[in-house]
Amino acid sequence: MEMRKSPKSSLTPSDWAKAAYRSIARGGVDAISVEAIAVELGATKGSFYWHFKNRDALIEAALDEWEHRLTDRVIERLELDPDPAQRLRKLLNGAFQQRAFDRAAEVALLANPEHPLVRRRVRQVARRRMEYIAEQLESIGWQPAEASDRAVILSCLYVGYLQTAHVAPSVMGNEARRRHAEIAFDSLIVADLVPDRPKGPELARSAGTPPLPT
């Protein structure tokens, strides 16, 4: 968690957005309180209105922070690998081994997006993520319709996995998560496409790349 700035420090909109994102991870969008965040940052409520019109503007900034952390930066890192199959493998590893803090924020936003601003953004991000996955699947040989179907299933698997890991973390140790990522990769990404492709642990050894940082 980031260090608090002293009251004398000059706070930026990004400081407020990150603090609001932390609030989402702790208790969902309802936990975003201008007063509480001002106390956390060592600021005044008046300082908030220097940067934001109202609480909804802060929620939008927190959603920007969420999308940047868990979508923009993830895609940027994946794009460093020229192999779309390995991008997908890294994506699964990173998603299944996500830090508890970010996992809590994802669960809060994806599982029950009741706030209108959240609902709209979650739909946009979910669509963007599925389109990216489908593009990678098409690049490795799946037909567009098949790629789209698998992208939807992988998205559903991710959300379900997040919720399970959040409520029952004891059944999902690090080694188990690696196995689960390999099973998903073998079953939904390369199964039937390349019958003689190395699978599971053999693929992990041959790839020699660590999970994507989250």
Banded model confidence at residue 179, pLDDT cuts 50, 70, 90? very high
By C-alpha distance, which of 177, 183, 135, 126 is closest to 155? 126
**How many separate domains does the chain show?**
1
Residue-wise pLDDT tens digits, 189-199: 998 775 554 54
Task: Please compute the mean of the pLDDT values over residues 132-160 and round it to a whole number.
Answer: 96
Residue-wise pLDDT tens digits, 85-141: 999 999 999 999 888 899 999 999 987 778 899 999 999 999 999 999 999 999 999
**Domain extent for 174:** 67-207
Residue 3 lies in a domain: no
Residue 29 lies in a domain: no
Residue 139 contacts by C-beta under 8 Å, 6 or more apart in sequence? 84
Would you state the pLDDT for residue 9?
53
CA angle 130, 132, 137 (to 5 degrees): 90
pTM: 0.83
CATH of the domain at 153: 1.10.357
Banded model confidence at residue 201, pLDDT cuts 50, 70, 90? very low
**Residue 33 pLDDT exceeds 70:** yes
The C-alpha atoms of residue 14 and residue 104 are separated, in whole angstroms, by 20
